[in-house]
Structures are given as structure tokens and as C-alpha cells.
Amino acid sequence: MKIHALAANNKQEELINFDYETNSNLPHDCIVKVQTCGICHSDIHMIDNDWRISKYPLVPGHEVVGIVEEVGGLVNHLKVGDRVGIGWQSEACLECRDCLRGNENLCNSSKATIVGRHGGFGSHVQVDSRFCFKIPDSLESAIASPLLCAGITVYSALRYAGMSSGQNIGIIGIGGLGHLAVQFAAKLGNRVTVFTTSPDKEEFARSNGATEVIIGTPPRKIKDKLNIILNTTHNDLDWVRFLSLLDSDGTLSFVGVPPSNLSNIHVNMLLNKRLRIMGSPIGGRAMINEMLEIAALQGITPVIEKFPATKVNEAIAKVRANQVRYRAVLEF
């Protein structure tokens, strides 16, 4: 079967039409007719070859939702007509210690949907069915798309930082990742404090469920110390100040990557209050299913801007300029 996709032929170039044939010799694979696909900053990094792993023609797209149209001979858990989502990861060994613990995202043989293979910007995508996730009926496809990368990234990070209910949770940044983190934390019954540098985002933070919004430099003390602080930004911030806002046994977790190393954090600061600093990449398969269920049950709703697939280059330009509020989704 021929897939009509959109690809960059060289780094930093606009996407153009690109057709390729599916491979029928992969019995675990399925072919999904794409309905919607989010545009993530990682797609842009891949188009630009920022990580020096891009191969061209490069078909981006790893927040895919669509309908299963064909299944390979060994696919039992999906059938033609199922609506599924595909995220950043599309392969793991499924045998190593991490995979057997449900941490496929930590597997050394992990492969990404758009690295060395073609992603979701197209009529269809061919992908390992073991990394396709059924989308609950109540989640509209365009709404589900950003959950497959942005949503699972923040949800898994919060869970592994120990998020339950009745806690005080801080979220640094209220963009594409941050607004979803606020929703998950708030809808699961936590008090959420948002840290932002933009005064004009206060109302948006509150509309997503934040109970406190701290604009600009964080204070030295806050009334309710935080159990978790999740950083979703890519800035160098005063991490010592943030650590001082954590309650005992608190965790400072990173999904956004600041450019500099974390320096001037003295171990005594961690030791005295038994604090932890952690990072977290996407999420394992069980966690993705759990996140989708919770999103459906709790009405987690990414704030999106939709674009027809024909306007892909306009949409990418807007993502590059940081002008999308808050996740861009292409409709095919």
C-alpha cells in the first residue's frame, strides 16, 4: 500500500508531499489511517537535525490518532476499525529488566516513531501494534493527540515523583506541557501552584485548575510547602530557591531541560529534608493506558489550535515562533 505523507527533504526545509510503500513483512505491525497528529517541539528538532540523528526524507509526527486499517498476522489485541494513538516511542526489546517492569520507555533498545522511520504526518502510518494505544470513546481525536507525548510526559513524571491526592504540587511553566500538568494534578485532587514569568498567563493557569499563581521570582517562603515541583520550562532558574520551597521528602522533577548543569546545590540541602531531584522521559505502556483512562474520566482537555494538513508549513512556523496556544494539531 502507498502512504501519502509530508516530509522534509533536508534540514530546516518546509515539508513537501512524499509517497512511500508500506512493508508487509512485519507481523506485529498495523497500518493506521491518520485522523489527527499533534506538532511537538521534538518534531521541529528532528526536522532541523538538532540531535544529529535525522534521516531524510523525514516524516515527522508522533502524537498520532487514527483508525486501524490493516493488522499483521501476529496482532491479536487490535482489530480493523479500532481507534488508536501512537506517541514518541514505537519499539522496545520487551525482554529486558526495564521492559519487564513496564518501563519500556527506559529500554536501551527503545526506538522513536520518527527516528529511522516515518511518522504520522500522512494519510497513514505503519507502526508496531504493541505501541498503539486504544483511545477511550469520550476523547475526541484532536484532543487525544497531544496527550500521546505532552500528556504522558507530565503525567508519568508526576506519578514517579509520587503524586497521589491531597498534595501540594508546583508546576513551573504554563505552556504546552505545563497546562496539562496543572490539569492532571488539580483534577486528581491536589492543590496546584503555578510558577510563571508571564503575568498575562495567570488567568489561564487558574482556568486549568491552579489555586496559586506566583509570577516572577519565587518567594523565599510559601505557606504550604510543596510535595512535588515539576519543571516544564527550558530555562536556567534558581533551583536552590525551588528546593527550599519543597516539604520534607519532596521531589524536584524535570521534564523541561535547562541549558546549564545544576550547580551550587549542596548535598546538605537534599540530605536535611530528604529531598530528591529526578528527571523523567515520556512513559511506559501501562502508564500511557492509565493516563488515557484518567484523561477520559476526569475530562483532561489540552488547549489546542487545529490546522488542516494542507497548512502544515504554516502550523510549523507558528510552533517555531512559539505562537501556538498551546498545542498545534493537524487534521488529515
Residues that bind Zn ion (CB under 5 A): 40, 42, 92-93, 96, 99, 107, 149
Q: How far is the CB of 95 from Zn ion (least distance, A)?
A: 6
Cα Rg of the chain (Å, integer): 20
Residues in the chain: 332
Instruction: For residue 252, give every residue at least 6 positions away whose Cβ sits within 8 Å of its Cβ, in sequence order, or none.
Output: 228, 229, 231, 239, 242, 243, 246, 275, 276, 277, 278
Q: How far is the CB of 62 from Zn ion (least distance, A)?
A: 6
Grid coordinates representing 243 are 528546593
* Cβ proximity to Zn ion, 34 vs 245, nearer residue: 34
Amino acid at 233: T
Residue 189 and residue 169 in contact, taking contact as beta carbons nearer than 8 Å: no
* Cβ proximity to Zn ion, 41 vs 311, nearer residue: 41
Q: How far is the CB of 128 from Zn ion (least distance, A)?
A: 13
In DSSP notation, 2-15 reads EEEEEEESSTTPPE
Query: Under the phi-then-psi rule, with left for phi > 0, alpha for psi from -120 to 50, and beta for the rest, what region is 192?
Result: beta
Q: How far is the CB of 131 from Zn ion (least distance, A)?
A: 12
* Cβ proximity to Zn ion, 107 vs 185, nearer residue: 107
Q: How far is the CB of 303 from Zn ion (least distance, A)?
A: 16
Among 174, 103, 102, 152, CA closest to 295 = 152
Q: How far apart are CA 232 and CA 271, in angstroms?
A: 25
Q: Checking DSSP bridges between strand 168-172 and strand 89-91, what pairing results, if any? A: unpaired
CA 313 to chain centre: 21
* Cβ proximity to Zn ion, 30 vs 99, nearer residue: 99
Grid coordinates representing 317 are 512556523
* Cβ proximity to Zn ion, 94 vs 296, nearer residue: 94
Exposure of 190 in the CB half-sphere (CA atoms within 13 A): 28
Q: How far is the CB of 269 from Zn ion (least distance, A)?
A: 32
* Cβ proximity to Zn ion, 38 vs 218, nearer residue: 38
Which alpha helices (H) appear in 188-284, and where do they start and end?
202-207, 239-244, 267-272
Q: How far apart are CA 158 and CA 185, in angstroms?
A: 8
* Cβ proximity to Zn ion, 173 vs 250, nearer residue: 173
Q: How far is the CB of 115 from Zn ion (least distance, A)?
A: 12
Residue 175 and residue 232 in contact, taking contact as beta carbons nearer than 8 Å: yes
Grid coordinates representing 77 are 489485541
Q: How far is the CB of 96 from Zn ion (least distance, A)?
A: 3
* Cβ proximity to Zn ion, 93 vs 215, nearer residue: 93
* Cβ proximity to Zn ion, 29 vs 104, nearer residue: 104
Q: How far is the CB of 114 from Zn ion (least distance, A)?
A: 9
